[in-house]
Chain A
Amino acid sequence: MKRRFLTASLATLIAAAPALAHYGMIIPNDPMISQQDGRSVALTMSFSHPFEMDGMILETPVSFSVTHEGATTDLLGSLQGATVMEEQGYTLDYPLERPGTYIFAMEPQPYWEPAEDAFIIHYTKTYVTAYGDDEGWDTELGLKTEVVPLTKPFGLWEHNVFQGIIKLDGEPVPYAEVEVEFFNEDLAATAPDELMITQTVKADADGVFTYAPPAAGWWGFAALNTADYTITEEGSGEEKAVELGAVIWVHFEEWTGR
């Protein structure tokens, strides 16, 4: 009896462990494409726990687009199915016809997460600059929720701070929570505690958050809010809450000095 109780307690503890953070991902082969790099950018889209390199199925997104010089182009039909982190994802080789900043954005289908008893929709984006022209780096897309960069979201050294305004329905979200996670591509990074896999910062009263990464690489920022609507869960027929994530992926470059 005592042993059974102990087992049950452990099971409860395990169940209560911090859930791994989910991230929509749009990762370009390079966030700063120079003319020597060619005339296109290669993008990889996925849904994962990026620190553990644990992939999940990314269903066909609701939308996938690029915005450049104020014009938004639907690219959903151009996505190519691919296996990313051993699960379904997508790739796209997109031609960069002109200089400037290209913002790639994805709205995924709602993901039912039983462990959280909620649906998850992470509006995901990343910024790519072409041919030495960074104009448009602070572009706001007008997504349902998004991180509007206050720091240029490319050309950053490791340890630089990154700042952004979290917006929901176009308005800043005071004290919103932002989860930060490293894309641990080669699994070289290890965490001494699970709490360090996903770090958390809060925005200030104006919806502005700040983070400085400890190392170069891709870092994902997910600002989380609860939607003002629900979605019916097919299995139970119940209305469930919806977590809206504003995700931005930013690359920090290795410092080349001493």
Chain B
Amino acid sequence: MIRALAVAGLAIAAPIGAAAHQLVVFASVDCEAVTVEAKFSNGRVTQQGDVRVLDGENNLLTTLQLESDGTARVALDSVDHTSGLLIEVDTGSHDNYWIVTPEDIARKCGS
């Protein structure tokens, strides 16, 4: 469902929560890595889920698993982030995404 939203230009439609307590996905950048955080809107940490990292052209770059604290870390030098990154998190029953724009990375890297 998420990928159907298309990443074209990383300007896509707003996420739609599908369940009573939706999945909240956020990713921050510290210039070295993207830290993915996922939790439910009731405050509970998402203890497991698939994380897919795609580039701005919707190409899958890598996949990984959420840690038990609801986070995942993607080293920036391990992926081509020039067109930005689409971070998808899917728990099986809930999914959502966060877009890391090239501007987000540039802002944190001071360039």
Assuming A132-B24, A133-B24, A133-B41, is B11 touching A36 (CB within 8 A)? yes
- Bound Cα distance A34, B99 (Å): 11
**B15 and A132: CB pair below 8 A?**
yes
Which chain B positions have C-beta within 8 A of A39? Answer: 104
- Bound Cα distance A35, B104 (Å): 11
Which chain A positions have C-beta within 8 A of B96? Answer: 132
Which chain B positions have C-beta within 8 A of A36? Answer: 11-14
Assuming A34-B14, A99-B24, is B99 touching A134 (CB within 8 A)? no
Which chain A positions have C-beta within 8 A of B28? Answer: 97-98
A135 lies within 8 A of chain B by Cβ: yes
B17 lies within 8 A of chain A by Cβ: yes
For B84-111 the 0/1 string (1 means CB < 8 A from A) is 0000000000001011000010000000
- Bound Cα distance A39, B104 (Å): 9
Assuming A99-B24, A132-B17, is B41 touching A35 (CB within 8 A)? no
Residue among A35, A36, A98, A131 with the most chain B CB within 10 A?
A35
Q: Say how far B78's CB is from chain A's closest CB, in angstroms.
A: 23
- Bound Cα distance A97, B39 (Å): 17
Q: Say how far B44's CB is from chain A's closest CB, in angstroms.
A: 11
**A131 and B104: CB pair below 8 A?**
no
Q: Say how far B75's CB is from chain A's closest CB, in angstroms.
A: 21
- Bound Cα distance A236, B29 (Å): 59
**A99 and B15: CB pair below 8 A?**
no
Interface residue SS majority, chain A: loop
The number of residues on chain B lying at the interface, defined by a beta carbon within 8 Å of a beta carbon of chain A, is 17
- Report 19 cross-chain contacts, Cβ distance below 8 Å, ordered by A residue: A34-B14, A35-B15, A35-B98, A36-B11, A36-B12, A36-B13, A36-B14, A97-B28, A98-B26, A98-B28, A99-B26, A131-B26, A131-B98, A132-B22, A132-B24, A132-B41, A132-B96, A133-B24, A134-B41
Q: Say how far B36's CB is from chain A's closest CB, in angstroms.
A: 12
**A35 and B22: CB pair below 8 A?**
no
- Bound Cα distance A29, B105 (Å): 25
Q: Say how far A204's CB is from chain B's closest CB, in angstroms.
A: 29
The number of residues on chain A lying at the interface, defined by a beta carbon within 8 Å of a beta carbon of chain B, is 12
Which chain B positions have C-beta within 8 A of A135? Answer: 41, 43
**A34 and B15: CB pair below 8 A?**
yes
Chain A's closest residue to B15 (CB) is: A132
Residue among B11, B12, B26, B104 with the most chain A CB within 10 A?
B26
**B26 and A133: CB pair below 8 A?**
yes
Q: Say how far B43's CB is from chain A's closest CB, in angstroms.
A: 6
Assuming A35-B98, A35-B99, is B24 touching A131 (CB within 8 A)? yes
Chain A's closest residue to B11 (CB) is: A36
- Bound Cα distance A36, B11 (Å): 7
Q: Say how far A94's CB is from chain B's closest CB, in angstroms.
A: 15
Q: Say how far A5's CB is from chain B's closest CB, in angstroms.
A: 65
Which chain A positions have C-beta within 8 A of B22? Answer: 132
- Bound Cα distance A147, B11 (Å): 38
Which chain A positions have C-beta within 8 A of B24? Answer: 99, 131-133
Which chain A positions have C-beta within 8 A of B15? Answer: 34-35, 132
Q: Say how far A139's CB is from chain B's closest CB, in angstroms.
A: 13
Which chain B positions have C-beta within 8 A of A133? Answer: 24, 26, 39, 41
Q: Say how far A74's CB is from chain B's closest CB, in angstroms.
A: 23
- Residues facing B in A152-187 (CB within 8 A) are none
